[in-house]
Structure 1
């Protein structure tokens, strides 16, 4: 196992993380560590970085927790491999990173695609998992309207949110990798195949599902997931995709209030 210190630390509200790279299944995987306490692993959404998904909640959550932010294959500061993106491989990569960091068990929080990776971690690596927080995720295609899937089939980098483009270019050592990352993300979703109900039923971790009432994923689908995952809770919060955590594309720079989900997340994590 090899780890290297990074010189590209991002300050979040005055907090400078410990950063590094770890050799993970053929990748140089980038990670950031904030605070002290029980580990909570943060897994970003598709096309994103640690900061674009979680920058607005890191300061609050790191007061009582050790946060471990990761960047997945081809995203942000992490290298790519000659293979398509899959949620299963992302889950295995995160599991290997934790092994490299000598973390035997943690809580996990994933947003959007990161929520789907979090579900896969709970299914594939249950021994690593205490609790999971799954934001704006789905497990089958009926969880999003047909136009979402049509968009993914025709997606081009021109339609990628500018905030994601700027964030990637800001931190990546290979700005030319932006199109590659976009295309791999779009391909994964365009070709997504339903997971089986028995996979969700197999999850033993305590689970908090969060979705916006105007999210990409439908409230009906969130309820369906809630019924399938044995030890789960569900929160449907007013707002769109990621608004409840202050995800970068969902809130204007003028919005300074605490993201809605922080009290819910803290209560869920603290509960025995």
Structure 2
């Protein structure tokens, strides 16, 4: 990424000192990173591609990267409120959204709680039911230690916040956040009015079957299933193949969906 093209800063949102970045010009696209991540570890490869045709707004969420923390546990509801407050601070009244992994769960909360701010949305490698992931996935949070955190994510955090204590705090809070995961009902998902692209990979945390169910439950849903692992298709740093991002075609998929005319009635 080229630092000369970036606008960055901090905003006081809900008592939290939140770090944000803005790239490019045009219609805003808000990027929401995954758990244990930062703007760069999740979206560092994708931002230069997408910012050539639209404005990118991204942030480090509570306890992640350069953003501060509160004494409370992390929650998708709080993250949703923080992001909406950040957009108010930036005088952005409506945007497209891309939420990856835990960021996809936060995006679901934004769509349900603040629908007026959402134009189109992309839910990538996320799920809305616990049954989407196998039992061993959930059981893993019962005894998780920071040793299981991918080294590229640790390095990415420490690059922007050189504090082992802050890293451990983020990890522990993210684990607790997933232990508390309850999901959303079919009725809630069926109330989402925004055109929504659901993206899943063939070796994702959530099953392909669940991705199909989510796409069918959201009234204006579309679905893409891509080869590979969780996050590899967007170039998330922990899933790069020998440091290389090979699935750049995701940029065309994202742009085609966001540029598509969805004003026509469905049916």
- Shorter-chain TM range is over 0.9
Map of 1:35 onto structure 2? 24
Find the aligned partners of 1:226 and 1:13 in 2 and give their Cα distance: 36
Q: CA deviation at 1:127?
A: 0.6
What does residue 54 of structure 1 align with?
43
The answer to whether residue 192 in structure 2 is matched with residue 203 in structure 1 is: yes
Structure 1 Cα separation of the partners of residues 127 and 154 of structure 2: 24
**1:168 and 1:268, CA in 2 relative to 1: closer, same or farther beyond 3 A?**
same
* Residue equivalent to 2:175: 186
Alignment match of 1:218 (pick from 207, 217, 220): 207
Give the conservation status (yes or no) of the 8 Å contact 1:141–1:194: yes
Answer yes or no: is 1:115 the counterpart of 2:104: yes
Point out where structure 1 has 5 or more consecutive residues left out of the alignment: 1-11
Matched residue pairs, number? 261
What is aligned with 1:133? 122
Q: Does 1:150 align with 2:139?
A: yes
Runs of 4+ displaced beyond 3 Å: 13-16
Using the alignment, how far apart are the partners of 1:254 and 1:89 within structure 2? Answer: 33
> CA offsets per residue over residues 55-108 of structure 1, 9 Å max, x none?
111111000110001111000000001100110110011000000110010000
Q: CA deviation at 1:14?
A: 6.5
Work out the CA distance in 2 between the residues paired with 1:90 and 1:204.
21
Q: In 2, are the aligned partners of 1:15 and 1:34 still within 8 Å (CA)?
A: no
Is residue 2:67 matched to residue 1:67?
Answer: no
| CA distance in structure 1 between the partners assigned to 2:52 and 2:124 by the alignment | 21
The alpha carbon displacement at 1:16 in A equals: 3.6
Q: 2:10 aligned with 1:21, yes or no?
A: yes
**Are the counterparts in 1 of residues 5 and 24 from structure 2 also a CA contact under 8 Å?**
no
Match of 2:249 among 249, 260, 267: 260
> 1:245 touches 1:260 (CA, 8 Å); kept in 2?
no
Unaligned 5+ residue runs, structure 2?
262-267
Q: Aligned pair in 2 of structure 1 residues 165, 173: CA closer, same or farther (>3 Å)? A: closer
State the Cα distance separating 1:179 from its structure 2 match.
0.6
- Supply the distance in 2 between the matched residues of 1:164 and 1:138 (Cα, whole angstroms): 22
Q: CA separation in 2, counterparts of 1:249 and 1:220?
A: 25
Distance 1:262 1:63 in 2: 11
Q: What is aligned with 2:86?
A: 97
Structure-1-length-normalised TM-score: 0.93
CA distance in 2, matches of 1:224, 1:67: 29
Report if the CA contact (8 A) 1:56-1:259 is conserved: no
Deviations 1:158-217 (A, max 9, x none): 111111111111101644211110000001111211321111111111100001011111
The two structures have a TM-score, normalised by structure 2, of 0.95
Q: Specify the SS of the correspondent of 2:212.
A: helix
